[in-house]
Amino acid sequence: MPDVIPENSAGLVTPSVYHFDEPLTLRSGKVLSAYDLVVETYGELNADKTNAILICHALSGDHHAAGYHSLEDRKPGWWDHCIGPGKPIDTALFHVVCLNNLGGCGGSTGPVTVNPETGRPFGPDFPVVTVRDWVNSQKRLADRLGIKKWAAVIGGSLGGMQVLRWAISYPDSLHSAIAIAAAPKLSAQNIAFNEVARQSITSDPDFHEGRYIERDTYPKKGLTLARMVGHITYLSDSGMRSKFGQGGVIAGVSEGIEGNSDNTNFGRDLRAGKLSFGFDVDFQVESYLHYQGERFSKNFDANTYLLMTKALDYFDPSVDYDGELSHAFAGNRKPGVRDCKFLIMSFSSDWRFPPERSREIVDVLLHAGREVSYLQITADQGHDAFLLPIPRYARALTTFLQQVHREVVECAPTSK
């Protein structure tokens, strides 16, 4: 909880709910007859409505990207260091929009919402939603807000996939696309990790086939385990060594092993200073994962977790183009109109969506003849780096977006 809201914070924010009555046909063929989207905005929309940025959230994110809901909040929004006045996504220049995606558990229509047809929560009946469905719903939100063209659509990880989908489905509706730590589609290894997460949730006795809310319980163990596995894939080996090796050589000494030269002890810090010779938590890393997993399980819906991992697994825009993704980005050219430009960024120690996966996106865009910039940021924090204040990463975002602002607001509006 902040004593005073910092000056470069988006400040106190209140989410709004937008109701949509027009049925949304999903990729699966199922139809959502009506739905709500919960939305937060930061910064002023200009009169021409040209300075709007859409933020797409990742697996466990929501609409609360920046600022505080109240002074009692323990933490600000999930991307607060990046969004605010004077921050990389500068709310003094831009009007920033972030929503909770369909199927989420932050207030938009999802498994925890009461299904009007049955009078009970959707739970497992909530249809499987895909990245494409989200982007279609986001487009309707843009139409509602009167935003014809986003100055930028930005997202990391699963959010980056939504960015790519925007550029494919609505090429005329964005000036720039920023996809961070993303991939053109998941690998077998990625899907395998997701399946372990799903199995741990669905095999929890408290899952009750997804109907746990009506029984006033939730699959705490399963969701905790899912998050623990997920969390490991967000970190890197070297990052974990330094994160859990701060306390020096205690574990090494008791084991008769000397700490390594950078004194990070392979991240083997003990929780209680000595080994228990039992099967309880011995190492800091175990305790950390338990804590993170449990905290997450209290605040997140298990059915939503299942949906989000499926959306990841199913993402592959090349399926509509005979497996040739570059065609997806080449097919929408209009003479005299400059297509959106891309900024792709990756992190050196990310092994969930490593730099090579971002390079695949870059190469596809080059093949399609698109304007693209690419940075590989050296960072120790693994996939999580996209959420963290890393100087070179922050500077690149700042610089790129300031130029976007010059192009769409200050030098507007030519035929560009």
The window from 48-56, 68-76, 77-85, 360-368 that contacts other proteins (CB under 8 A) reads 360-368
Binding-residue pattern over the window 68 to 87 for other proteins, x denoting contact by CB under 8 A: --------------------
Question: What does the alpha-carbon distance between residue 361 and residue 391 come to, in Å, rounded to a whole number?
Answer: 24
Q: Which residue from 374, 387, 413, 415 is in contact with other proteins, where contact means CB under 8 A?
A: 374
What's the token pair of residue 16? 């709004």
User: Which is catalytic among the residues 350, 358, 384, 405?
Assistant: 350
Q: Which residue from 332, 359, 409, 412 is in contact with other proteins, where contact means CB under 8 A?
A: 359
341 binds other proteins (CB under 8 A): yes
27, 118, 123, 151, 197 from 210: Cα distances, Å? 22, 15, 6, 40, 15
324 binds other proteins (CB under 8 A): no
97 binds other proteins (CB under 8 A): no
The window from 213-221, 229-237, 317-325, 396-404 that contacts other proteins (CB under 8 A) reads 396-404
- Quick one: which of 172, 110, 102, 106 has its CA closest to 138? 102
The window from 22-30, 118-126, 230-238, 397-405 that contacts other proteins (CB under 8 A) reads 397-405
Q: Establish whether 318 is a catalytic residue.
A: no
Parallel/antiparallel/unpaired status of strands 89-90 and 83-84 = parallel
- Quick one: which of 112, 95, 100, 113 has its CA closest to 61? 100
Q: What is the DSSP letter of 30?
A: -
Q: How far is the CB of 342 from other proteins (least distance, A)?
A: 9
Q: How far is the CB of 316 from other proteins (least distance, A)?
A: 20
Q: List, in order, residues 6 or more apart from 54 with CB less than 8 Å away.
A: 97, 98, 138, 142, 150, 152, 153, 154, 166, 174
Q: List, in order, residues 6 or more apart from 377 with CB less than 8 Å away.
A: 345, 346, 347, 348, 385, 390, 392, 393, 396
| Count of residues that interact with other proteins, criterion CB under 8 A | 23
Q: How far is the CB of 408 from other proteins (least distance, A)?
A: 11
- Quick one: which of 110, 156, 148 has its CA closest to 358? 156
User: Which is catalytic among the residues 57, 64, 81, 383?
Assistant: 383
The window from 63-71, 95-103, 106-114, 370-378 that contacts other proteins (CB under 8 A) reads 370-378
Q: Establish whether 350 is a catalytic residue.
A: yes
State which residue, 125 or 360, has the beta carbon closest to other proteins: 360
- Would residue 40 be called left, alpha or beta, if left means φ above 0 and alpha means ψ between -120 and 50 degrees? beta
Question: What does the alpha-carbon distance between residue 389 and residue 88 come to, in Å, rounded to a whole number?
Answer: 10
362 binds other proteins (CB under 8 A): yes
**Residues near other proteins (CB under 8 A):** 341, 343, 359, 362-363, 366-367, 369, 371-376, 392, 395-396, 399-400, 402-403, 406-407
